[in-house]
Structure 1
C-alpha cells in the first residue's frame, strides 16, 4: 500500500506541476500572440486610414480645395472615429494640422523636436510611448505625403492600446477556460487510470522479489500489449537469461575443470609411469615431450584466462598507429605455412583494397588474425582451402576469414564468443583448444569500437568478418 501511495503521489504532483507550467505557458503565449495579432491588425487599419486621410483631406488642403478650418474639422472627425491623435507636418517637420484624442498630450510644434533624426520620407510604425511623448503605450504609424509625386511632409496617427487590452483579455479567457476544464477532467481520469496501472506494477514487484531469490521460474501472468506488458515480458526474458547465465556459470566451472584436469591427469600419469619404471628409459624422452606439450597447453590456458580477466578489470590498453593491413595478413599467413603443408590446406588471399593503411593496435590485430586463421585451420579438412578477403567501404576496411570446414550449428552461432564454449563437433576434433580464442578476439575488436560477425552453414563452412578504420590522410602523411 505504501508503494501505491508514494507512486501515486509522485504521479499526481508531476501532473500538477506539468499542467500548471503548461497552463502558465499557454496563457503567456496566448496573451503575447493575441496582443501581437491585435497590434498588427490595428497598425494595418491605421496605415490604411492614414493613406486615405493623406490622399483626400491633406492633399485637398495643400491644393487649396479645403481651408485650414476645414482641414482641422476633418482631422477631428477622423480622430474621434479612430480614437487616435492625428498630426500633419510639412516638409520642414512643422506640425500645421492636428487633432489630439482625449487623454493624449498636446502635440509638439515640430516633429524634429521629438527626434532630430526623424525620417519624414519613409513610412514607419511604432509601438511604445513614441519618444516619451505619451505617458502610456500607443500604436503609431507615419506615412510620407506626396503631392504630384513630390514629398510634402508626413501624416502621423497615434492610437491608444487600452482598447486592445480589453479585447485581448476576452480572447485569452476564451482560450484558457476550456483548458481549465480539461485539467479537472484529466485529474479525475488520472485517479481511475492510476488504479489500473498500479495493480500490474504490484504484481511485477512481487515477481521481481522472487527473481531476486533465484526463483526464475515464477510467471508474471501479465499479457497486456501496453508498456506494462512489455516490461513484464522484458523481466521474464531477463529471468530466462539469468537462468541461462547460472547454467553457463556451472558449465564454465565444469569446462575449466575439465580443461585443467585432462592435461594434469596425463602429466601425473606419465611422470608416475617414469618413476616406477613402467616406461622404459629409451621411451622416456618421448613421453617427457608429451608432458611438455601438456604443460604448454596449461600455460596457454592460464595466460588466456589472465588476459581476459585483465580485459574485464581494466579494459584493453591500445597503442594505435598506422600500418598496412595487407602486410600484417601476409605475415600471419606465412606463420602457418608448416601446418598448412602438413594438412595440405591452401590459404588464398583476395585483396580488393586500394588503400590498405589502417589505424589500430598492430599487435592486437595481429593476435585477432592469428586466432581466426588458427581456428580456420583446426576445422578445415585436409585438402580444402581457406579464403582471406580484404575489402573497403567508405572509411572502413573489412577483413574476412572463410573456411571450408564442418560449419557451426545454428543454435551455437551466438555462443561462439562465450568463454570456454565449444560446439560438440569442434570439441571432439580440437583437443588442444582452450575455448578462449574467439572470446579474446571479440574483446579486442570491441575495444577498437569496431564489429566482428560470423556467418556459418553446416557442412559448408564458416566466415568471420571484422572491420577496421582507415588511417586518415593527415596521419598517413605524418
Structure 2
C-alpha cells in the first residue's frame, strides 16, 4: 500500500493528524491542569481575604461565636472543597473546618514557610504541608490583620489529586471529541487521497494508450484545481500529438507526391531522349526541364536539412549591419513576372529612405523571400500586396499583407508547423512542401525577434521585427 501514491498520501496525512492530536492532547492536559489550579488558587485567595476580614472584625469587637465561625468554615469547606484552619500568632491551630482535623487543635505548626504569613505576606505552596497530609495539596495562607498588626493566619488546603481528577474528566471528554474528529479526518483523508490519485491513475492509463499509438484518447476530469489543469494540459498534448501524427501522414503523402512528380518527369524525358522519341534539336529544351526538376528536388532536400539544423540549434548566424530597404526592393524584383501574371497591385511603404539593421543578411533575405512567395501564391488575381516598414523604439517592423482568403482560425496555431499546408487540395500550392513558414519562424526565433500572423478584413498580414543598428 505504501508504494502507491494513494498509500503514501493516506499514511502521511494520518501520521500528521495523529502526531498533531497527540501533541495537542499533551498540551491541553498541561494547560487544563495549570488553568484549574490557577483558578482554584484565585478563588481560595478571594475567599481567604473575605474570611480574614470577617474574622478580624469579630476579633476587633471582642465577640467571637465559635459555633457560628465553625459553621461558616464548614460551608466554605464544602464550597471550596478545601480544609480550612485558623492559626494563632504562636503557630497553634485554633479552629478547623473538618471534624477529622480536630485532633490537630492546639498543635503548633512547625513549617518554616508559615512565618511569612505572620509577617503579613500571602503564602501559596504545593506539597504535603510538612507531612500533615498523605497526598499533595494546594495551600493558601492568608494573614488575619487588624490595621498593620497580624493577629492570626488562615490556611486553606485543597487536594491536588481532586483537581487532577476534574482535569482528567475534562481531558477524557476532550480526547473523546478528538477521537471522533480523527475518525472523521480519516474518512476525509481517504476520499481526498482518492480524489487526488484517481485522476492520476486515469492519466497513467491514458498515457499508455497514447504511447500505443491511439492519439484519440482523452481525459474527462472536471474541476478547477491543479489536477483538472493537468488533465487539460494532457488533453492538449494528446491533441498536439494527434495533429503531429496527421502532419506526419500528410508529409509522407505530400513528399511522395512531390518526389514522384519530378522523378517521373525526369525519367520520362531521359527515356524519351534515349529512345530517340525526342528529336535532337529539341533535346536541349527538355534537358533544361530535367535540370529544373533536379534543382527543385535539391531545394526540397536542402530545406528539410536546414530546418532540421535550425530546430536542433545548429544554425550559425553571421550578424552584421546592412541596409534593409535595398534588400526588400531586390527580393520584390525577383517576383516581378509572377506579380504581373496575376495582375497584382504592389505597394511599398517604407518608414524612411535608408534603414540600417543588425542581423544575418542572408537569413533575413530568406525570411522576406518566403513571406513574399507566400503572399504572391495566395493573393487573388487583380488583388493587392502591401509591403510596409514601421519604426518603434529600437525595432523595425516589416509587414507583408495580401488580399485573398483568410486563414481558418483552427489552422492559425499550426501554420508554423513543418509540413502544414492550409491548401490541402494543393490547388494553389502545387510546388511547396509546407516548410517555408517553419523556416521563417526558426530564423526569426534564433534572431531573438518576433513574428505574427493575423487575418485582416480582406486577407492576411505577416509581421516580423528586426533590430535597428
Match of 2:206 in 1: 207
CA contact (8 A) 1:408 1:457 kept: no
Measure how far apart 1:231 and its partner are: 1.9
- Which one of the candidate residues 452, 460, 463 is aligned to 1:462? 460
Whether the aligned pair in 2 keeps the contact of 1:351 and 1:389 (CA below 8 Å) is: yes
Contact 2:6 2:193 in 1 (8 A): no
Is 1:452 matched up with 2:451?
yes
Q: Secondary structure at the match of 2:455?
A: strand
Q: Deviations over 1:42-93 (max 9, x none)?
A: xxxxxxxxxxxxxxxxxxxxxxxxxxxxxxxxxxxxxxxxxxxxxxxxxxxx
Deviations 1:180-226 (A, max 9, x none): x9xx9898665663343223332332332322222334443422332
Moved more, 291-300 or 217-226: 217-226
TM-score, normalisation: structure 1: 0.57
- The equivalent residue for 1:8 is 9
User: Equivalents in 2 of 1:445, 1:420: separation in Å?
Assistant: 18
Given the superposition, is the C-alpha separation of residues 418 and 467 from structure 1 closer, same or farther in structure 2, using an over 3 Å criterion?
Answer: same
CA distance in 2, matches of 1:258, 1:274: 24
- Does 1:380 find its partner at 2:379? yes
User: How is 1:388-399 mapped onto 2 (pairs within 5 angstroms)?
Assistant: 388-399=387-398
Q: Residues 203, 384 of structure 1: CA spacing in aligned structure 2 closer, same or farther, 3 A cutoff?
A: closer
Shift of 1:343: 4.3
Task: Determine helix, strand or coil for the equivalent of 1:316.
Answer: coil
Q: How many residues align?
A: 308
Aligned partners of 1:405, 1:465: CA distance in 2, in Å? 17
The residue correspondences of 1:162-201 to structure 2 (distance < 5 A) are 193-201=192-200
Instruction: Output the CA distance in 2 between the equivalents of 1:192 and 1:381.
Output: 62
Which ranges of structure 1 fall in alignment gaps of 5 or more residues?
20-180, 472-478
The equivalent of 1:285 in structure 2 is 284
Q: Counterpart of 1:429 in 2: which secondary structure?
A: coil
Distance 1:253 1:411, change over 3 A: same
Q: Which runs of 5+ in 2 are unaligned?
A: 21-177
Give the C-alpha shift of residue 354 in structure 1: 8.6
- Contact 1:333 1:347 (8 Å CA) reproduced: no
User: 1:262 deviation in Å?
Assistant: 0.8
CA contact (8 A) 1:376 1:405 kept: no
State the shift of 1:325 in Å: 2.5
User: Is 2:389–2:396's contact at 8 Å kept on the other side of the alignment?
Assistant: yes
User: 1:431 aligns to what SS in structure 2?
Assistant: coil
Deviations for 1:124-158, whole angstroms, at most 9, x for unmatched residues? xxxxxxxxxxxxxxxxxxxxxxxxxxxxxxxxxxx
| Cα distance between partner residues in 2 of 1:10 and 1:254 | 55
Q: TM-score, normalised by structure 2?
A: 0.58
Report deviation, 1:444.
0.4
Change beyond 3 A, Cα 1:406–1:314: same
Please say if 1:443 is aligned against 2:442: yes
Please list, as runs of the form range in 1=range in 2, the aligned pairs for 1:17-416 lying within 5 A after superposition: 193-352=192-351, 356-416=355-415
Give the Å deviation of 1:340.
3.5
Q: Distance in 1 between matches of 2:191 and 2:377?
A: 65
Answer whether contact 1:256 1:420 (CA < 8 A) is retained: no
Shift of 1:304: 0.8
**1:75-121 CA distances to partner (integer Å, 9 max, x unpaired)?**
xxxxxxxxxxxxxxxxxxxxxxxxxxxxxxxxxxxxxxxxxxxxxxx
User: 1:279 Cα deviation (Å)?
Assistant: 2.4
Structure 1 445/278 Cα, relative in aligned 2: closer, same or farther at 3 Å?
Answer: same
Q: Give the whole-Å Cα distance in 2 for the aligned partners of 1:275 and 1:14.
A: 87
d(CA) in 2 for partners of 1:329, 1:306: 26
Distance in structure 1 (CA, Å) of the matches to 2:290 and 2:388: 38
- Partners of 1:465 and 1:439 lie apart in 2 by 15
Q: Assess if the C-alpha contact under 8 Å between 1:401 and 1:464 holds in 2.
A: yes
Shift of 1:348: 1.6
Indicate how the Cα distance of structure 1 residues 225 and 382 shifts in structure 2: closer, same or farther if over 3 A, else same.
Answer: closer
Structure 2 Cα separation of the partners of residues 345 and 14 of structure 1? 76
